[in-house]
């Protein structure tokens, strides 16, 4: 079955015919020990100890490699502050004839290397007698009345609740919804002379061709001679590797003004950007992370939404003993995301036009709050008043028509 996330899928029937006698039971099973699974497991530790509960965390990979760099902004310190590698309270933005250095206080823009996060969470989780960590492939999940069943490498396990960040099977429905990809290649480079200002990160620099879709660079300075430079695009298809390489080389040469550097590390990734609703729960299975729809459709940011969701789950467990939580954001935000995606897809306005207007006409703190789904409706109206109202209204109308048309088929 095709999946908009483009990832592996659980197969459905495996496990239902396996023997259930002697099945090992846990209070909770966390299926997928990546960002969301480990965020939840770590937040659960005091609760597990206080209530003497047991959790199994299973992932098919050993999670030893540094496969991602997570950036996000927050105005407080949270439990993963010890692994924040760098943080900035000044960001630069370069759009259409507009360059600005922005103070984002009280926020800090933070960067975590996934390798540090896996190591840190591993140390905490393996030291807890309540936690078992297993490397194995989850082949199936299903919910029964009072428990959920998980098949791992052909063996059945049960739990009161399963938290899964393993991609769900979901067919594309292009009649109704928009599907874009945020795809990127990044290099950590070291230069031979002082080149970067480590006190200011580049959030978006649109000084690159917009030919292949909304395209921008992202620069995270780690020292005067070291930075992560990432070439990011929003479009329907990923590019051949050579195209990312050529764009990175050109940007470093022409915008960073640097000819002599060494590439220390490379990163690449694809994040789904869609307004296709995703099932958040299925009986005793609670979905987390990207698999649970916590990737913001219009930006791809996920890390902070994972933290908000997993904190809400733990709070709910303390208060009521069950982990079902109401949505962490207002219903308004998926509509805004859908409109923005529709606008980007329709090409009536380019990403550079939209983001330039947004940052030029609004305080950056308000924009960050808005992109975090935390503004009030009044604050949102003030922001909308500064945007290209005609194009946004048209996109809202067209998207609504698209949904209505698809419903009547
Ligand atoms: C390269 C990259 C950079 C990103 N940067 C940012 C960023 O800067 N800021 C931001 O907010 N978001 C970012 N994201 C988006 C998002 O935050 C990450 O994708 C994040 O890892 C999502 O967390 P997750 O737990 O949902 O998925 P994952 O972290 O991918 O965890 C899912 C886990 O499930 C495991 N798994 C899958 N199938 C099975 C199976 N059948 N059996 C057992 N285990 C299985 C996988 O091995 C994986 O460990 C980035 C994404 C990528 C790909």
Residues 268 and 281 both lie in one domain? no
Average confidence (pLDDT) over 214-222:
97
The preferred substitution site among 302, 305, 306, 368 for testing ligand 1, maximizing ligand atoms within 8 Å of CB, is 302
- Is pLDDT of 311 > 60? yes
Residues 151 and 200 both lie in one domain? no
For 373, the domain range is 332-408
Q: Which one of 265, 287, 320 terminates a domain?
A: 320
CB of 71 sitting under 6 A from ligand 1: yes
- Is pLDDT of 5 > 50? no
Average confidence (pLDDT) over 289-302:
95
State the total domains in the chain: 3
> Does some domain include residue 165?
yes
Nearest CA, atom 3, ligand 1: 68
> Does some domain include residue 234?
yes
Tens-place pLDDT, residues 56-77: 999 999 999 999 999 999 999 9
Residue 12 is predicted with a pLDDT of 52
pLDDT band for position 409 (50/70/90)?
A: low
> Does some domain include residue 91?
no
Residues 282 and 265 both lie in one domain? no
Residues 48 and 197 both lie in one domain? no
Q: Report the distance separating Cα 135 and Cα 157, nearest Å.
A: 14
Nearest CA, atom 30, ligand 1: 34
Residues 222 and 364 both lie in one domain? no
Nearest CA, atom 36, ligand 1: 32
Residue 406 is predicted with a pLDDT of 74
Residue 1 is predicted with a pLDDT of 35
> Does some domain include residue 86?
no
> Does some domain include residue 383?
yes
Q: Report the distance separating Cα 229 and Cα 319, nearest Å.
A: 44
Task: Give SS3 for 126.
Answer: helix
> Does some domain include residue 102?
no
Residue whose C-alpha is closest to residue 292's, from 31, 97, 29 = 31
Q: What is the CATH number of the domain that holds 238?
A: 3.30.70
> Does some domain include residue 108?
no
- Is pLDDT of 11 > 60? no
Average confidence (pLDDT) over 252-276:
96
Residues 165 and 302 both lie in one domain? yes
> Does some domain include residue 52?
yes
Residue 257, exposed/middle/buried by CB under 10 A (0-12, 13-18, 19+)? exposed
């Amino acid at each position: 079955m095709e999946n908009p996330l483009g990832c592996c899928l659980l197969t459905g029937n495996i496990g239902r015919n396996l023997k259930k006698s002697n099945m090992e039971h846990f209070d909770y099973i966390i299926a997928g020990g990546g960002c969301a699974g480990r965020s939840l497991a770590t937040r659960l530790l005091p609760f597990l100890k206080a209530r003497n509960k047991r959790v199994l965390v299973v992932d098919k990979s050993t999670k030893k490699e540094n496969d991602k760099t997570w950036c996000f902004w927050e105005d407080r310190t949270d439990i993963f502050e010890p692994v924040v590698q760098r943080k900035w309270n000044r960001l630069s933005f370069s759009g259409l004839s507009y360059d600005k250095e922005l103070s984002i206080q009280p926020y800090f823009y933070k960067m975590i290397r996934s390798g540090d996060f896996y190591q840190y969470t591993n140390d905490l989780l393996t030291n807890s007698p309540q936690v078992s960590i297993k490397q194995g492939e989850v082949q199936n999940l299903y919910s029964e009345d009072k428990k959920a069943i998980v098949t791992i490498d052909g063996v059945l396990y049960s739990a009161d609740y399963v938290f899964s960040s393993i991609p769900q099977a979901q067919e594309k429905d292009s009649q109704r919804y928009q599907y874009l990809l945020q795809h990127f290649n990044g290099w950590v480079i070291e230069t031979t002379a002082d080149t970067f200002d480590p006190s200011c990160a580049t959030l978006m620099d649109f000084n690159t061709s917009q030919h292949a879709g909304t395209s921008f660079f992202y620069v995270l300075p780690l020292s005067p001679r070291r930075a992560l430079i990432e070439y990011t695009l929003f479009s329907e298809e990923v590019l051949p590797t050579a195209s990312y390489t050529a764009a990175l080389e050109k940007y470093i040469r022409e915008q960073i003004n640097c000819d002599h550097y060494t590439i220390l590390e490379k990163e690449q990734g694809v994040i789904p950007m869609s307004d296709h609703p995703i099932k958040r729960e299925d009986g005793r299975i609670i979905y987390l992370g990207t698999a649970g729809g916590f990737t913001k459709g219009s930006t791809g940011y996920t890390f902070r939404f994972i933290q908000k969701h997993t904190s809400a789950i733990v709070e709910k467990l303390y208060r009521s003993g069950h982990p079902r939580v109401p949505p962490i954001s207002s219903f308004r935000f998926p509509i805004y995301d859908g409109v923005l995606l529709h606008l980007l897809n329709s090409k009536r306005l380019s990403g550079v036009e939209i983001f330039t207007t947004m940052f030029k006409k609004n305080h950056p703190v308000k924009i960050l709050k808005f992109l975090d789904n935390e503004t009030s409706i009044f604050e949102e109206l003030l922001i909308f008043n500064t945007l290209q109202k005609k194009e946004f209204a048209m996109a809202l109308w067209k998207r609504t028509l698209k949904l209505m048309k698809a419903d009547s088929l």
